Structure 1
Amino acid sequence: MNTAEIRKQRFYYGWVVVLLTFVTLLVSAGVRSLPSVLILPFQEEYGWSRSGISSVISVGIFLYGLVGPFSAAMLLRFGIRKVVLTALLVLAVSMSVTPLMTSLWQFELLWGVVSGLATGMMANVLGVTVSQTWFVKRRGLVVGLLTASAATGQLLFLPLFAKLTSEFGWRYAVYTAVAVIILAFVAVAVWMRNHPYDVGAAPYGSEEVVKPTVFSGNLFLAPLQTLRFAMKNSTFWLLAGTFFFCGFSTNGLIGTHLIAACGDHGMLEVAAAGLLAMMGLFDLIGTTISGWLSDRFDSRWLLFWYYGLRGLSLLFLPYALGATPFMLVLFSVFYGLDWIATVPPTVKLTGMTFGKEKAGMIFGWVVVAHQLGASTAAYGAGVMRDWLGSYSQMFVTAGFICFIAALMAIRIGANMAKNAKASLQA
């Protein structure tokens, strides 16, 4: 196919790949949200402590992030289609076995280890790889859309899982999740493509049809070598540090414990799940807009405002829990707009500093910091709830941590130009 023919094409197949990736990330996010619905049922059925259940979720969150850099290498070596299909298959098997478990260590194995690794293969790094591979223009928008899939997954699945758990038991929620995974597996198997070259197209915004670069590095050593390279750059530490606080204040704390915190104040699981779903709706809007903004404005200042506003909302949450339902709705809207809006600016800053070739794996390590923060909050909040009988102290702590992240985002500007030049020379 020549350049003139490519220009005449009205439809770019990359948008099909974006849609399939969106669905895959949506399903992965929906599955990762399920444990927040299971905390109270597992306490009642098995007698496990809140901290014990939280430890399983904490391990899953950490491994979800840790596998990211290696997932980036696998995506380059084996292609998007094979990696996603393998991850979906492993996830479906682990969830199918879940209703048979009888002890906490089995829950740890199935959800902490296997589910964490499988969903980690379908995390933010997948969206970054798709945007870098298929698009030259509109990358920020694509990253925003794919990042928002996590919110959409929560929006679609959390109320459904909560309703099924409330009326029929948690096992029916798990079986429903398995059925959704199978549908996603079939769609990816039929329509997913690895590279624009596979359909005779150029990346969006380019006119040159090029063959994909063959990944020749070691699947396990290449990510570690990339980490070693990134650690010499102070911008990497600022990006990783802000993302640690991002994970601490989002999926680790609110995503894991908000339903249980609402339960402590007499709110039913279905209603609390509805609040998280509402956050997902507004995060879909906020993160998509954030992607658009990151194509047009300074990403460092975007991060400053995102973290600062999130901190204010978390300081407001303990008051909202003890006040009227309207206050919780207000929190859900305000917090939801900011939930994952930090991802597109962070991705852009990573690409600007380290270049297209290293961006995927380096962002994967930034995500490791995010999930380490989330893991810390997921377990720490459970321990503090068992110890103090309330989540309020943890919410306030997270709010002030976000203010620190906002100040760190400004420091990225003080070091970025110098570090970008050094990275390019290296």
Structure 2
Amino acid sequence: MLTPPITQAFQCSNEQAARVATVFLITMTLAMPAAGWLLDRIAPCPVMTAGAVLTVIGYFVAARSLDIDVFTVAMGIAGIGVGASTYVPAITLASHWIAPHRQGLAYGILLAGGAIGAIIFPVLITHLTNAFGWRYAMQSIGWCIALTCVPLLLWVARLPNAEEVTHVAAPGMTPLAGYGIGEALRMPRYWLWIVMMLLVTLSSLGVYIALVPYLVASGYSAERAAAIYAAVGAATFIGNFLFGALSERWGARAVLLVGTAASAAGILCLLAVRDRTLGMMAIASFSLIWGSTFNLANQLSPLLLAEAVGQRNFGSLLGIGNLISGLGSAISPEALGYLVDVTHTYTHALVLCTALMAAALVPIALMRGAPREGIA
């Protein structure tokens, strides 16, 4: 939602504006394996709190930037902080507290916090930007993280004591059983997992970054586009709980297959938003279908990874996988911006995102867990 005002403020192209997101994603993914490796070895509190502080610094510097290059560097700093304090560290930490058969729903609850933010913040940030300017909005984000996330992490980011452990190992496994990092990197099932994450992330990021600019270009106001963005967040919140509960009954792989197919279909609904008759129905369908499923890979893929490689180096392998898939998918925003600049339409980009999401069904279908006797 900040792309249009930033483009106007710095007089830059769509490709240059999209490069900000690319740099943010690259630095975020570079921080993930380091954070995962550290969490396999030291207490989580200093790692995650330092990441949150870096994020605050990045947003404050970005708010005072005088050109697009400084702004891009500042957002790169924020990306390092986000990578060190959010997804990989949070999932790794939760895996030590929650029994395996409950982790699908637990990860859904964890990610629901992000969905709540997606409901509230697009409307709030759009309002702040319209009323006070994008610089004020960026500072507000920084203060919000400084006053809420940093204190919370200092309080809750800890591993369980022996008496508090609720993690129940699967039959024949100990809680820290698993393969070495080198062994896992030689396994085809680990690389199938990475390919799946790469394809899903390429598609999801492309749609996520393009949604508000596409809606504005289609004739929607910035406020209405932000409201649709919030509706997507509401659907994501519901999907986190629904698919988490279903994964306990049907298994993570089956639910991920169905959800990924639905997500691809949801993207196609966006192509009809310009139609006067079908526009609102298309928006509602997209918000519900894509919104409830686009984040499903982040929720359920850790379960597939744990089944494949075990718990012993889970944080490191989750971080390495997200690094590889994240670096590959980091080209998505800039490539999408370039495609829009060249074709002067979002149609080709949305069709490409649909194809990438559909292609992810292949590695998901091929993935299998490791034999229990093979995990030492």
**Structure-1-length-normalised TM-score:** 0.80
Partner of 1:232: 186
Partner of 2:77: 114
Partner of 1:203: 165
Which amino acid is 2:46 matched to?
K
**Retained in 2: the 8 A contact 1:385–1:391?**
yes
Gap change, CA 1:135 and 1:317, over 3 Å in 2:
same
Gap change, CA 1:263 and 1:144, over 3 Å in 2:
same
**Retained in 2: the 8 A contact 1:64–1:123?**
no
Q: 2:311 aligns with which of 349, 353, 356?
A: 356
Matched, 1:123 2:113: no
Unmatched segments (≥5 aa) in structure 1: 1-36, 208-212, 215-224
Gap change, CA 1:104 and 1:421, over 3 Å in 2:
farther
Partner of 1:192: 156
Partner of 1:93: 57
Which amino acid is 1:365 matched to?
I
Equivalent-residue separation in structure 1 for 2:79 and 2:150 (angstroms): 22
Which amino acid is 1:166 matched to?
N
Q: 3-state SS of the aligned residue for 2:2? A: helix
Q: 1:70 aligns with which of 34, 38, 45?
A: 34
Gap change, CA 1:315 and 1:194, over 3 Å in 2:
same
Partner of 2:335: 380
Q: 3-state SS of the aligned residue for 2:246? A: helix
Matched, 1:296 2:211: no
Gap change, CA 1:354 and 1:279, over 3 Å in 2:
same
Partner of 2:323: 368
Equivalent-residue separation in structure 2 for 1:191 and 1:273 (angstroms): 33
Per-residue deviation, residues 79-100 of structure 1 (Å, max 9, x unmatched): 2221122111111122112222
Q: 3-state SS of the aligned residue for 2:283? A: helix
Partner of 1:407: 362
Q: 3-state SS of the aligned residue for 2:313? A: helix
* Aligned-CA RMSD value: 2.3
Number of paired residues?
A: 365
Per-residue deviation, residues 85-118 of structure 1 (Å, max 9, x unmatched): 211111112211222211222112101x201111
Q: Quick check: 401-410 or 369-378, which moved more?
A: 369-378
Gap change, CA 1:68 and 1:186, over 3 Å in 2:
closer
1:236 Cα deviation from its structure 2 partner: 0.9
Q: Map residues 255-404 of structure 1 onto 2, 5 A cutoff.
A: 255-323=208-276, 324-404=279-359
Matched, 1:148 2:112: yes
**Structure-2-length-normalised TM-score:** 0.90
Partner of 1:9: none
Q: 3-state SS of the aligned residue for 1:204? A: coil
Q: Quick check: 313-322 or 183-192, which moved more?
A: 183-192
**Retained in 2: the 8 A contact 1:246–1:373?**
no
1:206 Cα deviation from its structure 2 partner: 5.7
Equivalent-residue separation in structure 2 for 1:398 and 1:357 (angstroms): 35
Q: 2:203 aligns with which of 242, 249, 255?
A: 249
Gap change, CA 1:72 and 1:330, over 3 Å in 2:
same
Per-residue deviation, residues 242-269 of structure 1 (Å, max 9, x unmatched): 111111121x212211111111112112
Equivalent-residue separation in structure 2 for 1:376 and 1:190 (angstroms): 34
Report percent identity of matched pairs.
21
Equivalent-residue separation in structure 2 for 1:95 and 1:344 (angstroms): 27
Equivalent-residue separation in structure 2 for 1:206 and 1:335 (angstroms): 33
Q: 2:46 aligns with which of 71, 78, 82?
A: 82
Which amino acid is 2:292 matched to?
L
Equivalent-residue separation in structure 2 for 1:305 and 1:366 (angstroms): 23
Q: Quick check: 290-299 or 352-361, which moved more?
A: 290-299
Which amino acid is 1:128 matched to?
I
Which amino acid is 2:273 matched to?
A
Gap change, CA 1:312 and 1:411, over 3 Å in 2:
same
Gap change, CA 1:69 and 1:243, over 3 Å in 2:
same
Equivalent-residue separation in structure 2 for 1:189 and 1:315 (angstroms): 39
1:186 Cα deviation from its structure 2 partner: 5.0
Partner of 1:56: 20
**Retained in 2: the 8 A contact 1:243–1:369?**
no
Equivalent-residue separation in structure 2 for 1:192 and 1:390 (angstroms): 46
Equivalent-residue separation in structure 1 for 2:78 and 2:167 (angstroms): 37
Equivalent-residue separation in structure 2 for 1:80 and 1:385 (angstroms): 41
Q: 3-state SS of the aligned residue for 1:125? A: helix
Per-residue deviation, residues 393-414 of structure 1 (Å, max 9, x unmatched): 011111122221112211114x
Q: 3-state SS of the aligned residue for 1:342? A: helix
Partner of 2:139: 175
**Retained in 2: the 8 A contact 1:166–1:270?**
no
Gap change, CA 1:344 and 1:203, over 3 Å in 2:
same
Gap change, CA 1:185 and 1:334, over 3 Å in 2:
closer
**Retained in 1: the 8 A contact 2:259–2:296?**
yes
Which amino acid is 2:340 matched to?
R
1:123 Cα deviation from its structure 2 partner: 2.8
